[in-house]
Each structure stands twice: as C-alpha cells, then as structure tokens.
Amino acid sequence: MEARHAIRDELPGVVAVLCRAFFADRIYRWMVPDDGQRRRSALSFYSRFVDACWPHGEVHVAGVGIGAALWVPPGVSLVSHDDAEAFGRSLLETAGDAASSARMAAVFAALDEQHPAEPCWYLAFMAVDPAAQGQGIGSALLAAVLERADRDGFPAYLEASCPENQRLYERHGFVTVGELNVSDCPALYPMWRPPVG
C-alpha cells in the first residue's frame, strides 16, 4: 500500500473517511457528545478543514477511500493570518450548540498554545477507515511525508488523540513531548520527530 497526493475528485472521499475514522474518537466525543449531532458536525468540520488544506498540496490518500492524511508544510499556516479568526469561528460553528462549541474552543486553544514555533511538517489529521485498520495504511500515509522531511532536514509534529495512535507514531520516530489536558477531556499527546539522517 502506497500513499499519494489526492486529486480534487477524491476530496469527498477524504472527508468521508475522516468522518468514519473520527466518529468514535474520544476527543471528538468529549467535544460533541451527542451521536447525531457529532455525525452532522463531523461532515461540516472535516469539509472545511480539507478545503483549507487543499491549497497547500499536501492532502494524501492511500487505497480508495480508506486512508487519508492532512499535512501542513513547514513555514506555512493552515490559513492566512487575515482569515484565521473567521476560519476558527466557522469550525466552532460546526459543533452544533454553545456547550459543544465552548468545549471545542478550549481544545483548540490548548492545541494552539502547544504548537511549535519552529518550522515543521504538521500532521493535522490522519484517518484510516475502521474496517481497514491494522493493514499498514497509516504507516504508508506517514512514510510518504516523513521521507521528504528527512531528505529536506525538517522535523514533524502532531497531536495523538489516544494511546493506540501514540504507539503507531512512536514506531515512526515520534517522541511524546507532553500531555494536553482540558477540563475533563481525555488527554492529547503532542509528539515531535526530528529529521533522520
């Protein structure tokens, strides 16, 4: 299984696999606890996030609708400084109600505070269809960019949303550099990978 850059026609499939993979995610479930509301939220949230990532040319897929990764290249912001506030508001609006929006805002604030200032490859989201997990798809999605990061001498950064994902990233050279805690939300694990070679 090899990863490759997505083409525009594949973006609905990228959104769909993100929705399936993160529907039961413990962080998303804490932010938006109602299942129906979370399903609606996810479709809007990931559609907006994929649209923001697309201009940077680093939306990757593996297989047909079974794996996707959203990377932000070194020295690049997901959205421009002028658009950042409106983009953040639009993401919070996807949560569906004031309480869920507030929880989402608290998580975003913690992520922003921890985000490294040093230029790095940032893995915003990686998703593998639950029915296809354990087949090396996540490893392929990581390898596609980490090989470039090593070649160009850039580190990589991400936040693991559960210990299982944390172990996958550790196998690819990431080291846990902290623990993010927001109220009674499950912990997030910031992870850093220096360039190899």
List strand residue ranges (DSSP E) for 53-182, in order: 59-62, 67-72, 121-128, 156-160, 175-176
pLDDT at 175 over 80: yes
* Structure token digits, residue 94: 């996807």
Query: Tell me: the pLDDT tens digits for 120-149?
Result: 999 999 999 998 888 899 999 999 899 999
Residue 192 binned pLDDT confidence (cut-offs 50, 70, 90)? very high
What CATH code is assigned to 3-193? 3.40.630.30
pLDDT tens-digit readout, 25-84: 999 999 999 999 999 999 999 999 999 999 999 999 998 889 999 999 999 999 999 999
Residue-wise pLDDT tens digits, 37-54: 999 999 999 999 999 999
Residue 1 pLDDT > 80: no
Q: What is the pLDDT of residue 98?
A: 97
What pLDDT, in 10s, does the model give residues 76-114?
999 999 999 999 999 999 999 999 999 999 999 999 999
pLDDT of residue 63: 83
pTM of the model: 0.95
Domain coordinates in residue numbering, the chain: 3-193
Above 90 in pLDDT, residue 178? yes
**From CA 197, how far away is CA 189, in angstroms rounded?**
25
How many angstroms separate the CA atoms of 197 and 113, rounded?
A: 30
